[in-house]
Amino acid sequence: MKKEDFLKAVEHEVKTLKKLATKEELKNLNLGNFNPQIPEKCIYGQMTGHCASKRAKVLMDNACIIVTNINEDEDDGGTDKLEDKSYSSIKKFINGKNTGQGWKDKGGNTDIFSGTSRNYRHLSALEAYICLKGAKIKNIVSFLKGESETLALQES
């Protein structure tokens, strides 16, 4: 996937979240505390309290159009090794269209899927973007919270 297409997917995700997420959910977002391996600290977990919640799944299913498949056991691609990476170094992990790869629904709990977890090897485009060197994290937060009307993801 070309970097431009990846950035379009990130832009789509951010703009969709701005439309669909409540003000309270957006208020909970703190990308400085982002950690894709912790259910309450990934993008969707921060907004909804837990990324295996039904609300998180609704947001992700609507906003996320591509995913990255990060295998934590790989020497060159675990989420702990994603920080400060270039796009070319993570490009091989882009898995394609979001088809719910990261969800296992086994339960009936109304808030959090009983016995269910989001597969943390699958990050949304936005979650992968945040880990990249030069990511415009402050701009994304300002845009989502309505403090800025411009969403710039790369240098002009």
Relative orientation angle of helices 3-20 and 137-144, to the nearest 10 degrees: 30
Q: What is the pLDDT along the chain (156 residues), one digit of tens a residue?
A: 888 999 999 999 999 999 999 999 999 988 788 887 788 888 999 999 988 788 988 898 899 888 777 655 454 444 455 566 788 877 777 766 665 545 454 444 444 444 444 445 567 889 888 888 888 988 998 999 899 999 988 754
Residue 63 near residue 13, CB atoms below 8 Å: yes
pTM for the whole structure = 0.79
Would you list the domain boundaries of the chain?
3-144
DSSP H helical ranges for 1-155: 3-20, 23-27, 43-48, 54-63, 87-90, 125-130, 137-144
Q: How many CA atoms does the CB half-sphere of 90 hold within 13 Å?
A: 30
